[in-house]
Amino acid sequence: MSLTTLRYGMRSAAVLSLQKQLKTLGFFKGPTTGYFGPITRGAVSAFERAKHLHRDGVADPVMRRTLATAAAAKAKAEGAGTPAPANWKTAPAPADDYRRVRYHGALMNVRTRQMLQRAETYAKAMGAPGSFSISQGSYHPGYGPSAGTHDGGGVLDIRISAYSRATADKMVKALRMAGFAAWRRGVGDGLPPHIHAVAIGDRQASPIAKSQVAEYFRGGDGLRGTRRDIHLTSVGHDIGRPVPNWARR
């Protein structure tokens, strides 16, 4: 199908599609209205610059084909079809894929990445950040402070120093909805503030990480000399222990 040129002042379904594709790639920051205004023109120019296209703020057929290809590639890489937050309970089990990859600069397996991407989607829907900053990934053996939890797969530490406790606890809830045993650390445990998350059912997880998952289902905090999970109390905003159906024991 031939593509028409879209330019400033136009309003159409094609402009709406253009805006959504630009938004997928992070170039479009405004509401997707279907109107080609100054925000859309600026986003088109930014994309053209990034892709070394003729920069004129006009979405000609070459620009539109390049954009559609890039948006489709990103959707595929991030796992198109990630369930909406309302359907987190019935989300399918993550892929049984233990290839090692990097995501947000951290080493993890494909299974963990898929679960993390779901958690980021859920967190964004709750008004929390939709992109998590990872301070420590998986497959990191011999690191003393982690006590062996990061030796194998499925384990992540997530930075929260820039967020309020309420926001951090939304992130914890999102991780739990995605199938992680997760806790906010730094509450009377002598640890620096962060979120510790273990992917439930990861067959490459270290023995101690698997024991933390067992403690999670018993209502504990996963630490040595286990205490009660703070997220079952007001200290952790009583977010409960939401577990998707595939991860239930």
Name residue 11's beta-bridge partners.
35
Q: Is 86 exposed, middle or buried (0-12, 13-18, 19+ CB in 10 A)?
A: exposed
Percent of the chain with pLDDT over 70: 92
- Read off the pLDDT of residues 79-133 as tens digits, 9 standing for 90 and up: 444 455 668 999 999 999 999 999 999 999 999 999 999 999 999 999 899 999 9
Can you give the pLDDT at residue 83? 52
Can you give the pLDDT at residue 63? 95
Nearest to 141 by CA among 74, 49, 201, 207: 207
- Read off the pLDDT of residues 22-46 as tens digits, 9 standing for 90 and up: 988 889 988 899 999 999 999 999 9
Can you give the pLDDT at residue 80? 40
Crossing angle (nearest 10°) for helices 13-24 and 38-50: 50
Decide if 230 contacts 182 (C-beta within 8 A). Answer: no
Nearest to 121 by CA among 79, 158, 181: 79
CA distances from 159 to 64, 91, 128, 201 (A): 37, 26, 13, 23
Token pair recorded at residue 244: 């998707």
Does the reported pTM lie above 0.75?
A: no
Mean of per-residue pLDDT scores for the chain? 90
CA distances from 192 to 4, 145, 160, 215, 223 (A): 55, 11, 10, 21, 14
Can you give the pLDDT at residue 84? 53
- Read off the pLDDT of residues 136-176 as tens digits, 9 standing for 90 and up: 999 988 776 667 899 999 999 999 999 999 999 999 999 99
Question: Rounded mean pLDDT of 169-189?
Answer: 94
Can you give the pLDDT at residue 164? 92
Reply yes or no on whether the pLDDT at 71 is more than 90: no
Percent of the chain with pLDDT over 90: 78
